């Protein structure tokens, strides 16, 4: 008996170790890239383009220690010979030197620039310390707009600020808050009706609502856009509120239905016996008891609408109505030359969604467990 108990404890310890190891690996897959983006957001753009974020920490890298100018009479289209300080003679064509070569002493010799430079750079691998020139420049460019210099019609150099997130933040809040409240308001009434009211076709209607969960947004957006064009809702906040409400309602109704249907029937029957109406039961019983499910869906809907790009681009368009995701996409530039600004923009745009999530976190698990099998 004691041996079986010992074997059981050993198996339990092994399984616990495996589970913890898997969880650590899964966490690392998410945490390490996010940490890298955070570090990158504080680096200078030149360093971002030339090296990875991990080079912020002490590491070995090639450091230039000298250069050698080739004589003018050397034919660069033929063999180029070079004798290193340790007496090693190396020869090769331009492509060979362009790729770089490691000498016996551990130095690296590489052709610098185009052929006409006639320069061989000599590098040595040395330890470098922590990168100390971290900056807030990326955050300043995101918040106030990157300064752009260009020539005017008269040939003079002009400077202006590019796109910034200040106006986009207001637009995103204007879109997200109503687009979260409206579907919740409609869905809580619908879920109560499907869960506790008897009316003809209830099951068929509920099945149709659940079936809408599998309809891809990309398919539905085209006919929605056509209808909005006919009634002149394109480019308006009302249009995008209605679009997000329509796309979010099926999940909202399904999630709230699962929660409300689990409320004990005895509570509602007691309220009916005491003379309560459906509306008073809804406002005084259903709503207070459904707060966890409402908060759970509010998190989902808020995060989805805040991070949405497609619906905002199609319905709102650009210009003064741009939301955060559109502005971040435009900051990258037409050729992606300013992609490094996304590192700072990502963390700035993350502030409000994270605040919403952590403020409602205590309700999240309870709401997600609604309708689950218990036992």
Residue-wise pLDDT tens digits, 350-369: 888 888 888 887 777 666 56
Report helix, strand or coil for 203. Answer: helix
pTM of the predicted protein model:
0.73
Residue 375: its pLDDT value, please?
Answer: 44
Q: Average pLDDT, stretch 181-199?
A: 90
Flag whether pLDDT at 147 surpasses 80.
no
Q: Please, which pLDDT band fits residue 373 given cuts at 50, 70 and 90?
A: very low
Number of residues that make up the chain? 375
76 vs 305: which has the higher pLDDT: 305
Q: Please, which pLDDT band fits residue 270 given cuts at 50, 70 and 90?
A: confident
Quote the tokens at residue 94.
């331009």
Flag whether pLDDT at 226 surpasses 70.
yes
Q: Report percent pLDDT > 70 for the chain.
A: 88
Question: Judging by beta carbons within 10 Å of its beta carbon (0-12, 13-18, 19+), is residue 180 exposed, middle or buried?
Answer: buried
User: What is the C-alpha to C-alpha distance for residues 252 and 258, in angstroms, rounded to an integer?
Assistant: 10
Which of 2-16, 88-102, 119-133, 333-347 shows the lowest per-residue confidence on average (mean pLDDT)?
A: 2-16
Flag whether pLDDT at 215 surpasses 70.
yes
Residue 367: its pLDDT value, please?
Answer: 60
Q: Report percent pLDDT > 90 for the chain.
A: 17
Q: What is the mean pLDDT of the chain?
A: 83
Instruction: Name, in order, each residue with C-beta under 8 angstroms of 258's C-beta and a sequence gap of 6 or more.
Output: 293, 370, 371
> In sequence order, what E strands does the chain have?
59-69, 80-83, 89-92, 101-102, 108-111, 119-128, 147-151, 157-161
User: What is the C-alpha to C-alpha distance for residues 312 and 257, in angstroms, rounded to an integer?
Assistant: 29
Q: What is the DSSP letter of 101?
A: E
Residue 174: its pLDDT value, please?
Answer: 93
For 197, phi then psi, to 5°, come to -105, 135
Flag whether pLDDT at 186 surpasses 90.
yes
Residue 154: its pLDDT value, please?
Answer: 57
For 28-82, the pLDDT digits (tens) are: 998 998 899 889 889 888 888 878 888 888 888 888 888 888 888 888 888 888 8
Task: Calculate helix-pair angle for 351-359, 166-196, nearest 10 degrees.
Answer: 30
Helix, strand and coil percent figures for the chain, each rounded to 5: 60, 10, 25
Report helix, strand or coil for 148. Answer: strand
Q: Please, which pLDDT band fits residue 161 given cuts at 50, 70 and 90?
A: low
User: What is the C-alpha to C-alpha distance for residues 307 and 250, in angstroms, rounded to an integer?
Assistant: 19
User: What is the C-alpha to C-alpha distance for residues 47 and 77, in angstroms, rounded to an integer?
Assistant: 33
365 vs 263: which has the higher pLDDT: 263
Instruction: Name, in order, each residue with C-beta under 8 angstroms of 302's C-beta and a sequence gap of 6 or more.
Output: 176, 180, 353, 356
270 vs 153: which has the higher pLDDT: 270
């Amino acid at each position: 008996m004691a041996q079986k108990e010992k074997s059981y404890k050993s198996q339990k310890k092994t399984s616990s170790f495996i589970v913890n190891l898997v969880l650590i690996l899964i966490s690392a897959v998410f945490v390490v890239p996010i940490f890298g983006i955070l570090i990158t957001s504080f680096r200078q753009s030149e360093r971002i383009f030339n090296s990875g974020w991990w080079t912020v920490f002490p590491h070995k890298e090639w450091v230039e220690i000298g250069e050698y100018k080739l004589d003018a009479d050397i034919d660069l289209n033929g063999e180029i010979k070079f004798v290193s300080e340790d007496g090693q003679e190396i020869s090769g064509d331009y492509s060979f030197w362009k790729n770089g070569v490691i000498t016996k002493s551990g130095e690296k010799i590489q052709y610098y620039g185009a052929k006409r430079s006639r320069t061989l750079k000599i590098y040595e691998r040395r330890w470098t310390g922590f990168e100390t020139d971290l900056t807030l420049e990326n955050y300043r460019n995101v918040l106030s707009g990157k300064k752009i210099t260009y020539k005017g019609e008269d040939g003079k150099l002009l400077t202006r600020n590019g796109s910034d997130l200040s106006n986009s933040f207001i637009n995103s809040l204007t879109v997200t808050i109503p687009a979260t409240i409206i579907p919740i308001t409609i869905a809580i009434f619908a879920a109560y009706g499907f869960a506790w009211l008897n009316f003809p076709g209830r099951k068929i209607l509920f099945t149709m609502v659940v079936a809408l969960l599998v309809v891809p947004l990309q398919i539905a957006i085209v006919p929605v856009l056509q209808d909005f064009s006919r009634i002149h809702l394109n480019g308006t906040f009302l249009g995008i509120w209605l679009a997000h409400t329509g796309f979010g309602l099926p999940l909202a109704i399904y999630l709230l239905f699962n929660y409300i249907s689990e409320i004990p029937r005895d509570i509602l029957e007691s309220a009916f016996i005491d003379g309560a109406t459906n509306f008073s039961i809804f406002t005084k019983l259903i709503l207070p008891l459904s707060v966890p499910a409402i908060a759970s869906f509010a998190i989902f809907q808020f995060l989805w609408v805040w991070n949405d790009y497609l619906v905002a681009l199609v319905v709102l368009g650009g210009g003064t109505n741009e939301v955060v995701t559109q502005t971040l996409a435009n900051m990258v530039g037409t050729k992606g030359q300013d992609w490094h600004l996304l590192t700072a923009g990502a963390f700035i745009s993350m502030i409000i969604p994270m605040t919403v999530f952590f403020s409602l976190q205590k309700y999240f698990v309870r709401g997600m467990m609604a309708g689950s099998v218990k036992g």
